[in-house]
């Protein structure tokens, strides 16, 4: 019985580390309170009360921010998104870079309870030459 416990404990511990990943904010990024409030209002209007979105921005390059998250979360490839190593798509004359990262070990964004989207430029009411970190959490 002790052998079984000693074999199972490391597996349980490792799995808990994999599935209990927590979001880490990119150093120096700041919350965009206005955009976060608008995202929350949009989620409530769409009757998505179990979803919380928080938007942060930084002047750092897309590659630096995406590399940071690639080191702590699983990159999830989305159709037409550049990812960390692809070519950007064009958006109104801008090169749009996007990458998605899953923190909780889920197989895709729809089943994940914690994922982020990294995007440059940030497109809100206007187009801003900053890198956005959009955090999506499900309760």
pLDDT of residue 129: 95
54 — pLDDT class (breaks 50, 70, 90): very high
Q: Could you tell me if 118 and 98 are in contact, meaning their C-beta atoms sit under 8 angstroms apart?
A: yes
21: which 2 tokens?
């990943």
pLDDT tens string 58-74: 999 999 999 999 999 99
pTM for this prediction: 0.81
pLDDT digit string, tens, across residues 6-47:
344 333 333 334 445 689 999 999 999 999 998 888 888 888
Share of the chain above pLDDT 90, in %: 58
CA distance 10 to 58: 38
> What DSSP string runs through 60-118?
S-HHHHHHHHHTTSEEE--TT--TTTSPPEEETTEEEEEEEEESS--SSTTT-SEEEEE
């Amino acid at each position: 019985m002790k052998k079984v416990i000693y074999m199972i404990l490391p597996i349980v511990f490792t799995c808990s580390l994999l599935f209990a990943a927590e979001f880490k904010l990119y150093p120096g990024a700041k919350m965009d309170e206005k955009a976060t409030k608008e995202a929350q209002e949009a989620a409530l209007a769409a009757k998505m009360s179990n979803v919380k979105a928080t938007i942060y921005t930084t002047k750092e390059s897309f590659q630096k921010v995406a590399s940071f998250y690639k080191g702590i979360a699983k990159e999830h490839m989305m159709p037409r998104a550049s990812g960390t190593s692809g070519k950007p798509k064009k958006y109104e004359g801008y090169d749009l870079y996007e990458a998605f990262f899953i923190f909780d070990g889920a197989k895709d964004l729809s089943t994940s309870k914690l994922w982020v989207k990294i995007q440059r430029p940030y497109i809100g009411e206007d187009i801003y030459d900053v890198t956005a970190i959009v955090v999506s959490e499900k309760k």
